[in-house]
Structure 1
């Protein structure tokens, strides 16, 4: 499992890429992907194209990202979900909290 991030040239958006399993073992790496940036972006994008699995702790980590990004005023997209991963997000009603594409 690997988590990487890229920041847009203007610094306003960070994209976090998650490969493999997204579970409790990735907690620290996931938080570092957005907390240790030089400037705080206004838009967050979580790319799950390479994510094969996520569990309840991953859902919790997404909620922590939402709180960090400003709660209800946050701008977070979750993109490129595999069907099984998207199903978990929808069952958990995360489409009410995040822009899931």
Structure 2
């Protein structure tokens, strides 16, 4: 599976791991990973992501809106150097905690 989710034992944190290309083909699976969950904290793990495009940026914005917008606690972790550059150019470093 290319979008893998894990909820922490206390139910407070959702981790979404992306494997392979993070593009429009993952839209449905990505949305379903968080859609019916109460979100206190979300971690998007891009360790195994090989590619990220503009539709992935849109999916991250939809996740942010679902999680509470400015009040959301979303971290994007394990980004490659190239992905960090894309996120920085898009000013996503102002919207998400990126590491």
Q: For structure 1, which runs of at least 5 residues remain unmatched after alignment?
A: none
Q: 1:87 aligns with which of 75, 85, 88?
A: 85
Give the deviation of 1:83 after TM superposition: 0.8
Provide the rounded CA distance (Å) in 1 between the counterparts of 2:6 and 2:39. Answer: 11
Deviations 1:30-54 (A, max 9, x none): 00111134xx130000000001110
Runs of 4+ in 1 over 2 A off after TM superposition: none
TM-score by length of 1: 0.95
Deviations 1:58-98 (A, max 9, x none): 00000000000000000000000011111100110100000
Aligned twin of 2:46: 48
Provide the rounded CA distance (Å) in 2 between the counterparts of 1:41 and 1:55. Answer: 25
Provide the rounded CA distance (Å) in 1 between the counterparts of 2:8 and 2:52. Answer: 26
RMSD over aligned Cα atoms: 1.0
Q: For structure 2, which runs of at least 5 residues remain unmatched after alignment?
A: none
Work out the number of aligned pairs and report it.
99
Matched, 1:18 2:22: no
Provide the rounded CA distance (Å) in 2 between the counterparts of 1:41 and 1:72. Answer: 13
Provide the rounded CA distance (Å) in 2 between the counterparts of 1:95 and 1:58. Answer: 15
TM-score by length of 2: 0.96
